[in-house]
Amino acid sequence: MRRYLYVSLAAAFVVIALKLGAWHLTGSVGFLSDALESLVNVVAAGFALLMVAIAGRPPDTDHPYGHTKAEYFSSALEGLLIGVAALGIAAEAVRRLLAPQPVHMVAVGAVLNVAATLINLAVARWMLGGARHLRSIVLEADARHLLADVWTSAGVVLGVLLVPLTGWLWLDPVVGIVVAGHIVGEAWRLVARSVDGLMDRSLPDSDLAEVEQVLGRFRSENLRFDHVRTRRAGTRRFVGMHMHMPAHWSLGRAAACRLQVERALTQHVAGLVVTIEMLPQGQESLQDGGPDAPPTN
């Protein structure tokens, strides 16, 4: 796993150097924004390494719930930095649009960019194979992102190559603006994802439906579930709930029933951490309405 991430990180540095070289030679904003797009990959690979290192640590006394939320700090920061950089490039592209400038040595720049893109393509295909082998979502997401960048770069090279052929000086800044807009979108997703995680947003509807379906199998005259709450932290998913049962049940019977529910839930939703509070029918915990609250069943 780490081998793949280190290689993709090293490749990304080479790719950025090549793309920055293309920008430096040609003065094309399109090439500059394409280089920034590759910087997103370096950051993504670095972030994946960090996630594997920190989030994979087992819970300890200081962090009894584990370290999976660590990734949110890094992805929020990355999103902000990338977004600001993309906006800066978009501003530069708009300036170029208003005062068009010629691009130079386009052929050499295009060759550098194509070389960089071929490196990306090779690394992406190699990582996709690794992701299938290791069944890693992180690795697969990284590889898919690289593949998407291959298409972006192809579009950029085509657009910039057309500038000297057609004499359309506006084409280069327009390419730059389109790519910068795409990067801002990616940055926004990174930030939104971190905010959702830090704010304990519920699990996606598909997971909630799975939980509901499992609970539905256990619901009966005697068993009722309420106050179902879900959240996620990195790759870990949590669900908490009340299980209401007749007050005369023995603790042993109640615990056996609770275990069945927990087992069914963890079988259906991979990586789910289940917390079940056992309560008699018609009685709630203080935080959920208290003993004086009207019975809900």
Q: Which residues bind Zn ion (CB under 5 A)?
A: 226-227, 242, 284
Q: Cβ of residue 263: shortest distance to Zn ion, in angstroms?
A: 21
Min CB(233)–Zn ion separation in Å: 24
Least gap, CB of 281 to Zn ion (angstroms): 9
Q: How far is the CB of 16 from Zn ion (least distance, A)?
A: 54
What is the C-alpha separation between 126 and 124, in angstroms, rounded? 5
Residue with smallest beta-carbon separation from Zn ion = 242
Separation between Cα atoms, residue 253 and residue 151, nearest integer Å: 60
Element (H, E) at 96: helix 70-98
What type of residue sits at position 105?
A: M
Choice between 19 and 242, CB closer to Zn ion = 242
* 36 and 184 Cβ atoms separated by less than 8 Å: no
Q: Which is nearer to Zn ion, 56 or 282 (CB)?
A: 282
Q: Is residue 236 exposed (0-12), middle (13-18) or buried (19+ Cβ within 10 Å)?
A: middle
State in angstroms the smallest separation of the CB of 176 from Zn ion. Answer: 56
Tell me which H or E stretch contains 107.
helix 106-134
Residue whose CB is less far from Zn ion, 245 or 265: 245
Q: Which residue has the tokens 């669900």?
A: 239
Neighbours of 174 (CB within 10 A): 16
**Any bridge partners for residue 244, and if so which?**
224, 279
| Secondary structure (3-state) at 224 | strand
Q: For Zn ion, give the closer residue by CB, 101 or 285.
A: 285
User: Which residue's CB is nearer to Zn ion, number 232 or number 242?
Assistant: 242
Task: Provide, rounded to whole angstroms, the least separation between the CB of residue 243 and Zn ion.
Answer: 8
- Return d(Cα 36, Cα 84) in angstroms, integer: 11
Q: Give the nearer residue to Zn ion in terms of CB position, either 92 or 226.
A: 226
